[in-house]
Amino acid sequence: MVSEKITIYGHQASRASRPYWLLREYGLEKGKDFIEVDTGGPVTGYNEVRDSAEFLALNPYRLIPVMTHGEVVLYESQAICQYIAALLGGPLSGQTPAETARINMYGLSSISNFEPNFLPMVFRQGGDEGRARYTANLEPLLSALNSELINRDYLIGESRGRFTVADVMMASVVGQYGRAIKFDFSPWPDVESWVQLTTRRDAFYPPRDMKVKPD
């Protein structure tokens, strides 16, 4: 399927979960089809992998995930996801230039609109007061996302749509973080069903031998 093995640096409890999820959607198996380089260990202190000259040559920003595939080196989880989808093709990827652009758009929207409000709640920033503020910020944004999902199962495609890498990217923020903090999606019923549809897929869950927490 892939002549050279994709290597992902990063562990499941990081944004590396996004490309890992997508690779599993393609039916690819760790070790057999792609390589996982565990980068567990301290994020702020010295980290054997991230502080190695080899890793910093791949990503001078020191962040995970990083992907290598032959000569291709990428950082930024969404760039990696979209590269994998373009490489492996099929219904998970954009079928037209317009679809590919809309996939990119939803990925960017997940970062610009949703991540800055969901992620601080995952880390309990600002405690209860912070949670109330981030939740208030999210209300108009979730109403917007809900309007994009009315009468649809997925973000991309004709009629009710089909599951694509756009859902992987958006649900890795709204769905994964939302579920982690038990966010109440009930005021946005179309978002709520889409969160269930996307994050209850078999491929969403890392296999038991994948590290979910860093060392």
Contacts of 63 (CB under 8 A, 6+ apart): 75
In the complex, the smallest distance separating the C-beta of residue 108 from its own copies, rounded to whole angstroms, is: 4
Contacts of 117 (CB under 8 A, 6+ apart): 134, 137, 138, 141
In the complex, the smallest distance separating the C-beta of residue 120 from its own copies, rounded to whole angstroms, is: 12
Q: Which is nearer to its own copies, 43 or 212 (CB)?
A: 43
In the complex, the smallest distance separating the C-beta of residue 212 from its own copies, rounded to whole angstroms, is: 23
- The span from the CA of 165 to the CA of 25, in Å, is 9
Give the number of C-alpha atoms closer than 13 A to the C-alpha of residue 188, restricted to the C-beta side.
Answer: 24
Q: Which is nearer to its own copies, 72 or 212 (CB)?
A: 72
In the complex, the smallest distance separating the C-beta of residue 104 from its own copies, rounded to whole angstroms, is: 5
Q: Which is nearer to its own copies, 98 or 212 (CB)?
A: 98
In terms of Cβ atoms closer than 10 Å to its own Cβ (0-12, 13-18, 19+), residue 45 is exposed
Q: Where are the beta strands (DSSP E) in the chain?
A: 6-9, 34-37, 66-69, 72-75
Residue holding tokens 């800055």? 116
In the complex, the smallest distance separating the C-beta of residue 208 from its own copies, rounded to whole angstroms, is: 31
Q: Which is nearer to its own copies, 100 or 198 (CB)?
A: 100
Angle among Cα 207, 32, 170 to the nearest 5 degrees reads 50
Q: Which is nearer to its own copies, 61 or 123 (CB)?
A: 61
Write out the residues near its own copies by the rule CB under 8 A.
60-62, 71-72, 74-76, 78-79, 82-83, 86-87, 97-98, 100-102, 104-105, 108-109, 111-113, 140-141, 143-145, 147-148
Helix (H, G, I), strand (E, B) or coil at 171: helix
